[in-house]
Amino acid sequence: MFCSKCGKKIPEDSSFCPFCGENIVHGEESAPSEHAASGEKGTQAGPLPVRGVPMWQHIAIIVGTIFIPLIGLMFGVYYLRSADAAKKKAGKIWLWVGIVAFLINLLFIFMA
Ligand SMILES: [Zn+2]
């Protein structure tokens, strides 16, 4: 640290300056570092509330918006190509499941 009066380098734990005799107030020195520490904590905690969405919800949104509609589309197209009427019906249901899941998760994304 440096003396606040003469500006010379002095030992960290000095209670007075060995060069000019100025009293060293450690309260002023430690206060900004505490502020800096709390500031660091603030910036560390900062990004979390900004995102505000827990990890499971991210995963749920990704699964819901990508995988379920994709699976729905795949099954839907696959079954709709089938000549079997029952499978065509199942294909339509799968397509709707995919579309609905996609729309619901779009809502999730906009609300999150
Ligand atoms: Zn000094």
Domain extent listing, the chain = 1-41, 55-111
Q: How far is the CA of 6 from the centre of ligand 1 (A)?
A: 4
Q: How far is the CA of 37 from the centre of ligand 1 (A)?
A: 27
State the virtual CA torsion across 30, 33, 38, 44 in degrees, nearest 10. -160
Number of Cβ within 10 Å of residue 97's Cβ equals 17
Between these two residues, 61 and 32, which has the higher pLDDT value?
Answer: 61
pLDDT classification of 27: cutoffs 50, 70, 90? low
Q: How far is the CA of 13 from the centre of ligand 1 (A)?
A: 14
pLDDT classification of 112: cutoffs 50, 70, 90? low
pLDDT of 44 above 70: no
How confident is the model at residue 8, as a pLDDT? 92
Judge contact between 87 and 79, C-beta under 8 A: yes
Distance of CA 80 to the CA centre of its chain: 41
| Least reliable range by pLDDT among 17-21, 24-28, 80-84 | 24-28
Q: How far is the CA of 31 from the centre of ligand 1 (A)?
A: 20
Q: How far is the CA of 35 from the centre of ligand 1 (A)?
A: 25
pLDDT classification of 52: cutoffs 50, 70, 90? low
- Give the C-alpha separation, 81 to 87, whole Å: 9
Q: How far is the CA of 16 from the centre of ligand 1 (A)?
A: 8
Q: How far is the CA of 5 from the centre of ligand 1 (A)?
A: 5
Across the range 76-104, mean pLDDT stands at: 88
